[in-house]
């Protein structure tokens, strides 16, 4: 990839729209754009200028352009050989960003025209004819990274911001774009580099009275790096869900109100609801935002002994959805005693993230004292939902949320329970930076593995030259997240920190 090329591309999505933007970036961006533009004012950095897109090849001119107040009148030869104003194609707004104060640190010209694919493509073709090169996918952001405008976490955040499905996802991506993760990693990396510099100095400059670090000091330094890295690694479960969303399967036996609950969470009549059991035969899915997290809700067929082949296929798909889901809502009828199907479903979700939804709570008032006895009335969340032979103190019983899909009672509490599953008792602060990428998580874990090896090396009194190999192995993954630590960085720290040679 030649960074000296001037590149061009349409910066807005394919299709027709009110506005379309063509972006030129590179040393010749301004020179390439000028001949196709007739502007009211000369281009100035960080200023939008109104003008016209013209045909520099001299197509027939429209009506007289006098009195429009343009700074100059580009002309071309008409069919008779006489001078004529260049033909106007569109009205445009042109913005010029002078290097290095631009997205890529190059000169950038952005031409905002009406969003006609023909017009935008013509601007690109005129730019190519003047010597520009068509940009590769992601090349503008690649240049921003290669030119030091963005680090890797910020470059990845650009993609995440574009792909955001909810406002919360966009906020998280914007925080990452501002360098939230880099800022969190920076002091951790610095402590690791400090330790490396300390050991390097002790090895290479012992004759200059630089003492060799004792084991306790080394272990303390490693702990100062390891502890915050472990805390960062722990944010991945939350960050992954924020980034990718989660799948929530609504399961239960027929006629307990699964589809009604699904519609209530979706906030529209998406699934068919009838009083006849077994209406839902296939999976119905919809993605909604709950607390800013994209949640794919999957309504499933009622689970019971199938009455026909179609229902049997639907039930099999329900069990597959249950197995694949990140979170399961087990819906039971609060007005009835637990059936064998209910008990079997509850056994199947043991040890998995699940919420028990006691639906039709609005009907209890009409039942009065004649309501069927509920195991949860006497002993909520224990014997009713866990087999005694398999119960242990460490096993967490799923939360139980009474709801009415008909009236909406309990739905806010159910949403809150879903969010608590996503975030835990205390969600990481967006501003603190957290892991949303599998790549980042793997690299942080690689660094922690290398640090664990370094601790073992200290315990086994391995020479510092060998210990440094583990410390450099811990530094490299962090460099792959934020950028490379060079040998010069370490040498500068050594000479700047220790009085060597005086």
Residue 151 has pLDDT above 70, yes or no: yes
Cβ atoms of residues 253 and 342 within 8 Å: yes
Q: What pLDDT sits at residue 367?
A: 42
Between CA 152 and CA 403 the distance in angstroms is 46
Q: What's the predicted TM-score (pTM) here?
A: 0.70
Query: In the CATH hierarchy, which fold is given to the domain comprising 7-149?
Result: Gyrase A; domain 2 (3.30.1360)
Between CA 429 and CA 337 the distance in angstroms is 43
What is the average pLDDT across 450-472?
93
85 closest CA partner among 63, 118, 116: 63
Burial class (CB in 10 A: 0-12, 13-18, 19+), 308: exposed
Cβ atoms of residues 56 and 126 within 8 Å: yes
pLDDT greater at residue 215 or residue 66:
215
Same fold, 7-149 and 180-235+434-497: no
Give the model confidence (pLDDT) of 101-139 as tens digits: 999 999 999 999 999 999 999 999 999 999 999 998 888
- CATH 3.40.50.300 given to domain 245-423: yes
Residue 368 has pLDDT above 50, yes or no: no
Residue 325 has pLDDT above 90, yes or no: no
What percentage of the chain reaches a pLDDT higher than 90?
34
For the chain, the average pLDDT equals: 79
Candidate ranges 75-79, 182-186, 209-213, 310-314; pick with highest mean pLDDT:
182-186
Q: What pLDDT sits at residue 444?
A: 95
For the chain, give every domain's residue range. 7-149, 180-235+434-497, 245-423
Span of 64-78, 386-400, 435-449 with lowest mean pLDDT: 64-78
Residues in Cβ contact with 5 at an 8 Å cutoff, skipping those fewer than 6 apart? 26, 132, 133
What is the average pLDDT across 37-51?
92
Q: Identify the CATH number of the domain defined by range 180-235+434-497.
A: 1.20.120.430
Indicate the pLDDT class of residue 89, thresholds 50, 70 and 90. Answer: very high
Residue 90 has pLDDT above 90, yes or no: yes
């Amino acid at each position: 990839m030649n960074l000296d090329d001037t590149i061009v591309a349409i910066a807005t999505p394919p299709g027709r729209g009110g506005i379309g933007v063509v972006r030129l970036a590179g040393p010749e961006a301004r020179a390439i754009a000028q001949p196709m533009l007739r502007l009211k004012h000369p281009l100035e950095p960080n200023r939008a200028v109104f003008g016209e897109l013209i045909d520099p090849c001299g197509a027939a001119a429209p009506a007289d352009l006098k009195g429009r107040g343009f700074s100059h009148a580009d002309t071309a030869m008409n069919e008779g050989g006489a001078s004529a104003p260049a033909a106007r194609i569109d009205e445009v707004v042109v913005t010029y960003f002078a290097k290095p104060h631009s997205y890529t640190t190059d000169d950038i010209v952005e031409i905002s025209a009406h969003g006609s694919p023909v017009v935008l493509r013509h601007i690109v073709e005129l730019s190519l004819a003047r010597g520009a090169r068509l940009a590769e996918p992601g090349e503008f952001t690649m240049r921003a990274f290669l030119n030091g405008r963005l680090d890797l976490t910020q470059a990845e955040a650009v993609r995440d911001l574009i792909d955001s499905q909810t406002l919360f996802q966009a906020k998280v991506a914007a925080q990452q774009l501002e360098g939230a993760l880099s800022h969190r990693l920076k002091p951790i990396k610095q402590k690791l580099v400090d330790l490396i510099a300390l050991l390097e100095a002790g090895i290479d400059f012992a004759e200059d009275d630089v003492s060799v670090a004792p084991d306790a000091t080394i272990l303390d330094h490693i702990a100062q790096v390891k502890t915050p890295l472990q805390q960062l690694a722990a944010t991945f479960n939350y960050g992954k869900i924020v980034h990718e969303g989660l799948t929530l399967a609504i399961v239960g036996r027929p006629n307990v109100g699964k589809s009604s609950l699904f519609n209530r969470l979706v906030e529209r009549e998406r699934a068919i609801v009838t009083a006849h059991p077994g209406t839902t035969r296939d999976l119905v899915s919809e993605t909604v935002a709950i607390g800013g997290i994209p949640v794919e809700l999957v309504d499933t067929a009622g689970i019971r002994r199938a009455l026909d082949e179609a229902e049997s296929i639907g039930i099999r798909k329900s069990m597959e959805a249950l197995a694949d889901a990140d979170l399961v809502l087990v819906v039971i009828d609060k007005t009835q005693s637990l059936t064998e199907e209910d008990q079997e479903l509850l056994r199947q979700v043991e040890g998995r993230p699940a919420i028990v939804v006691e639906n039709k709570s609005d009907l209890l008032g009409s039942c009065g004292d004649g309501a069927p006895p509920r195991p949860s009335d006497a002993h909520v969340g224990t014997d009713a939902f866990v087999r005694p032979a398999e119960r242990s103190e460490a096993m967490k019983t799923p939360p139980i949320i009474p709801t009415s899909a008909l009236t909406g009672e309990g739905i806010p509490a159910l949403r809150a329970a879903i969010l608590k599953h996503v975030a835990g008792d205390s969600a990481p602060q967006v501003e603190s930076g957290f892991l949303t990428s599998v790549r980042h998580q793997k690299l942080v874990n690689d660094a922690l593995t290398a640090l664990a090896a370094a601790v073992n090396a200290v315990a086994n009194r391995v020479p510092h030259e060998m210990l440094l190999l583990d410390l450099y192995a811990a530094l490299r993954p962090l460099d792959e997240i934020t950028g490379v630590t060079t040998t010069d960085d370490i040498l500068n720290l050594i000479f700047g920190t220790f009085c060597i040679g005086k």
